[in-house]
Chain A
Amino acid sequence: MMNILLSTLEQQSLIKASFETLELLLWSALISIPLGTLLGYIFALYGKDKIYQNKWIAYTLSMIVSIIRSIPFVLFMVIIIPISFNLFKTSYGFIPSIISLTLIGIATTARLVEQAIVDLNPNIYRLAKSLGANKYQLFRHFIFIEARSSLILAYTSSLISLLAYSSVLYIIGGGGLGYTAIQIGYYSPVGHELMYVSTIIMVIIVQLIQILGNILANYLNKKKRG
């Protein structure tokens, strides 16, 4: 099918772009999921009227996350360029792409994790306290256990958002399927097939992430009857 639609050169650039997208997704997720989880935990437990209420920490971090989320991503990654240049002496390509994708990933994951934790029965904190759990144990043995299927769905949504954001990273040299779809697909008079095939591959990746996320979340959820 691909042989009929695309030339060998286009097929090669599509395979390369797919790997680039997966690489961007993998590295940004590896950093943003743990950090986003930590931030979400802080928002859910240190906010106003929460068990460890500490307005200064929660408000400051919450404001930073809200600002990151409010800037359109195309502008955000351009704003990141000088930071990337100062830190890594590069303003184009993989590094500035990873920085911007990771930062937006942390902000997105933090809000989704916060929601998953806030949705838990608040009596879980009383139970943990009565069993003598410390802060780490509260997260590891209570919150993580009870919210694990919601957390998996939150991570699934984060990954899908990262994939969507990654499609514009070609502007700062990040490559990926966004590059093949727009730059060498849409803008070329003979490249529309490449644009459609790139889009189909992205749809397939999203479907795979969602299906796997749903299966894992469902397996880990023991709260359902039957």
Chain B
Amino acid sequence: MLELIQVSKSFKSKFTKQNALIDISLKIHEGDIFGIVGKSGVGKSTLLNILSLQMLPDSGTFLFKNQKVDSLKKIQKQKMIDETSFIFQDFSLLYNLTILENIALPLKLRGISKEERLKKAKLMLEFVGLLDKQDAYPIKLSGGEVQRISIARALVTEPKILYLDEPTSSLDEATTLDILNIIKEVHQKFNITIILVSHQMSAIKYICTRVLLLEQGKIKRLGPIQNSNDFKPTYDLLWEEA
């Protein structure tokens, strides 16, 4: 579904050049729950930005459904972006919109009628178990509830790929487990390819089928991972230890 071939990316300032990703080659298959793990500053977010079409690599090839991304026209690229959804660690909701309006927002941007977008938003809200909060504002929600709403909003456009950038890193242990279980359920029910960035090896091990370990912009390990149904948060655990 997604393939990177010798992709590199660097960021230049006036006097320095920082290599964020060096010679990354990987394949993500349809239906994968693909984990990207590594310490802070190793290039996880840059890789996610490239995979989610928010950023172009400096060199190498990126194939999105067998199509070269750098040769795409703007309209084709937008069509591909429309097949994806993103969930962030923080500031994922607009605080002046109600929960229902927040979930319906991506449909509003796509010009869907009010009736249809509210109907779809309510269905998703029901899926994440927060239908009773539809008229509330995000300030009244807990961190876990905000992430549930973010998941509902991400699903409302019926994406094929779901990107999650550290979705549980600011949550406590019980809420993290709750959110991971919802992500598992999303994967099973909607058959979506999921790409998860995290520095929590325990979270990766709990839900991912394949994992990439990044170290200083390079691939340290890439391959399948033995799932553990026993969620034990052991932060910054090394691959070998996990």
Instruction: Return the contact of A123 from the options B52, B54, B91, B96 (Cβ within 8 A).
Output: B91
**Sampled A-B contacts (27; CB under 8 Å):** A123-B90, A123-B91, A124-B91, A126-B88, A127-B88, A129-B54, A130-B52, A130-B85, A131-B86, A131-B106, A132-B78, A132-B110, A133-B109, A141-B105, A141-B108, A141-B109, A145-B97, A146-B94, A146-B95, A146-B96, A148-B96, A221-B96, A222-B95, A222-B96, A222-B139, A223-B137, A225-B139
Q: Which of chain A's residues has its CB closest to B78's CB?
A: A132
CB distance from B52 to the nearest CB of A (A): 7
Besides the known contacts A123-B90, A131-B106, 17 further A-B residue pairs in the complex with CB atoms under 8 A apart: A123-B88, A127-B88, A127-B91, A127-B92, A127-B94, A130-B52, A131-B109, A133-B109, A137-B109, A142-B94, A146-B95, A220-B96, A222-B96, A223-B96, A223-B137, A223-B139, A225-B139
**Which of B96, B106, B109 is close to A145, meaning CB atoms less than 8 Å apart?**
B96
Q: Which chain B positions have C-beta within 8 A of A3? A: none
CB distance from A118 to the nearest CB of B (A): 16
A135 contacts the other chain (CB 8 A): no
Given contacts A129-B54, A130-B52, contact A223 B110 (CB under 8 A): no
- Distance A123 CA – B86 CA, assembled complex (angstroms): 13
**Which residues between 93 and 113 of chain B lie within 8 Å of chain A, taking CB atoms?**
94-97, 105-106, 108-110
Which of under 10, 10 to 19, 20 to 34, or 35 or more describes the interface residues of A? 20 to 34
The answer to whether B81 touches A132, judged by C-beta atoms less than 8 angstroms apart, is yes
Q: Sorted from nearest, which 8 A-B pairs have the closest CB atoms?
A: A123-B91, A130-B86, A222-B137, A223-B95, A222-B96, A131-B106, A121-B91, A145-B96
Contacts of B90 in A (CB 8 A): 123
What 0/1 pattern do residues 16 to 46 of A give for CB contact below 8 A with B?
0000000000000000000000000000000
Distance from B134 Cβ to chain A, minimum over Cβ atoms (Å): 14
In the complex, which residue of chain B has the Cβ closest to the Cβ of A122?
Answer: B91
- Enumerate B34-61 residues with CB–CB distance to A below 8 Å: 52, 54
Give complex CA distance A121, B86 in Å.
18
Contact mask for chain B residues 66-86; partner A; CB cutoff 8 A; 1 contact, 0 none: 000000000000100110011
B114 part of interface (Cβ distance < 8 Å): no
B140 at the interface (CB under 8 A from A): yes
Roughly how many angstroms separate A149 CA and B96 CA in the complex, as a whole number? Answer: 10
Residues on the B chain within 8 Å of A224, using CB? 139
Residue of A nearest to B91 (CB): A123
**In the complex, chain A residues whose CB is within 8 Å of the CB of B91:** 121, 123-124, 127
- Whether the Cβ atoms of B105 and A131 lie closer than 8 Å is yes
A123, B94: Cα distance in complex, Å: 11
Instruction: For the complex, give the distance between the alpha carbons of A49 and B95 in Å.
Output: 25
Tell me the bound Cα distance from A106 to B153 in angstroms. Answer: 38
A117 nearest CB across to chain B (Å): 14
Contacting pair B140 A132 (CB below 8 A): no
Q: Provide the residues of chain A in CB contact with B92, threshold 8 Å.
A: 127
Contact partners of A129 in chain B: CB under 8 A: 54
CA A137 – CA B107 in complex, angstroms?
Answer: 12
Q: Which residues of B contact A146 (CB under 8 A)?
A: 94-96
CB pair B54–A130 under 8 Å, yes or no, is yes
Q: Which residue of B lies closest to A123 (CB)?
A: B91
B150's closest neighbor in chain A, by CB?
Answer: A127
Smallest CB separation, B125 vs chain A (Å)? 17
Chain A 93-109 interface mask (CB, 8 Å, partner B; 1/0) = 00000000000000000
A98 CA / B110 CA spacing, docked (Å): 41
| Chain B residues whose CB sits within 8 angstroms of the CB of A123 once the complex forms | 88, 90-91
Does B94 contact A225, Cβ atoms closer than 8 Å?
Answer: no
Query: How close is A158's CB to chain B, nearest CB, in angstroms?
Result: 21
Chain A residues near B140 (CB-CB < 8 A): 225
User: Which residues of A sit under 8 angstroms from B97, Cβ to Cβ?
Assistant: 145, 222
Alpha-carbon distance A220/B52, docked complex (angstroms): 34
CA distance A123 to B95 in the complex (A): 13
Instruction: A129 to B78: give the CA distance in the assembly, Å.
Output: 11
In the complex, which residue of chain B has the Cβ closest to the Cβ of A220? Answer: B96
In the complex, A35 Cα to B122 Cα: how many Å?
Answer: 38
| Closest CB in chain A relative to B55 CB, distance in Å | 10
Bound: A131/B110 CA distance, A: 9
